[in-house]
Amino acid sequence: MTQFTHHDTASTFDDALANSQKPTANGPSSIIALSNQKGGVGKTTLCVHLAAYLATQGKRVIVADADPQGNATAWLADDGLDESALWRLLIERARPETALHVAKWGVGLLPGNGESGDALITLTALRRPFDAIAQALQEVVERMRPDYLLLDMPPSKAAGFRELLFAADYLLVPTQVERLSLNGVQFMADTLHELREHLGQGPRLLGIVPNMVRPRTVDHGDHLVDLVQHFGAAVWPAVPLSIKVSEACTYGTTVWDREPKGEAARGMTDVCERFVENLAGSG
């Protein structure tokens, strides 16, 4: 696996891609936010796996780590990156190509850390924060032409949460299947509705991904049925609870690497395939 850490010029991302991927950015880019009101449901896990899958399939994919915890950054770049691309994009008005790192699997990474949170706080205190954040992400799309820009979202109470969501074209909601999980997903659906009401536009719900599922337990089975009753076809294939997924996180790799033929790898592949299908279908 090649690791690229230089980030001085636009050509770095393209050079790196040329080694491992064929740029395919002729169609429009999509910005996809991975978010849930609830923490610890698998947002970062799904974000990193989608990015690895798509990049390995030859797509141009950028992950913007908008969570000040910087978990996606730590997973995708294990060389101790401590830099906030959001700070540089939003506050210093840096050009996107100077903030982009080419990380594992050739994924383009806009790293995040505590400063990302500060940048979002600063921005949301100014006039027109919705426009400012949407413009910054739009500039990333225009200059870097990814097929997909994945946003690993901050917690729902954090500054910039609604603004980042507004800037996305689609929302993907990983969720656990426990007693109160439905509330978190419903909160996200309501937030989309609110954005549309107040601002006249907002992302579309792309899908809901049941994660950490124990398929053979009655409890999880019941909660999955509840989810499908509420959200119908928006509920995607499930990813099972598996130590292989947490190992992937620990070792900074993927579940396909840890146990390629395991149930978790199969579930994750099904989710990635659904992602590609749904986005291809929606043009």
Q: By CB under 6 A, name the binding residues for ligand ATP.
A: 39-45, 67, 69, 71, 211-212, 239, 241-242, 245-246, 249, 264
Q: Read off φ and ψ for residue 189, nearest 5 degrees.
A: -60, -40
Nearer to ligand ATP, 226 or 259 (CB): 259
Q: Which of 93, 33, 98 is nearest to 66 (CA)?
A: 33
Tokens standing for residue 183: 């509330």
Site string for Mg ion, 62-101 (x = CB under 5 A): ---------x------------------------------
Nearer to Mg ion, 65 or 83 (CB): 65
Nearer to ligand ATP, 69 or 253 (CB): 69
Measured CA to CA in angstroms, residue 128 lies from 87, 134, 149, 160, 228 at distances of 17, 10, 23, 12, 37
Tokens standing for residue 5: 């850490």
Residue 181: name its binding partner from Mg ion, ligand ATP, none (Cβ under 5 to 8 Å by kind).
Answer: none
Considering the complex, what minimum distance in angstroms separates the CB of residue 280 from ligand ATP?
Answer: 25
Q: Which of 247, 270, 242, 267 is nearest to 257 (CA)?
A: 247
Place of tokens 């992400």: 137
Considering the complex, what minimum distance in angstroms separates the CB of residue 10 from ligand ATP?
Answer: 30
Residue 185: name its binding partner from ligand ATP, Mg ion, none (Cβ under 5 to 8 Å by kind).
Answer: none
Closest residue to Mg ion using C-beta atoms: 44
Considering the complex, what minimum distance in angstroms separates the CB of residue 135 from ligand ATP?
Answer: 25
User: Greatest CA span in the chain, whole angstroms?
Assistant: 54
Q: Could you tell me which residues come within 8 angstroms of residue 7 by beta carbon, excluding any fewer than 6 positions away?
A: 97, 98, 99, 100, 101, 102
Residues 19-38 close enough to bind Mg ion by CB under 5 A: none
H/E segment holding residue 186: helix 181-199
Query: DSSP 3-state assignment of 255?
Result: helix
Nearer to ligand ATP, 88 or 244 (CB): 244
Nearer to Mg ion, 71 or 176 (CB): 71
Q: Is 44 in the site for Mg ion (CB under 5 A)?
A: yes
In the complex, the residues that contact Mg ion under the rule CB under 5 A are 43-44, 71
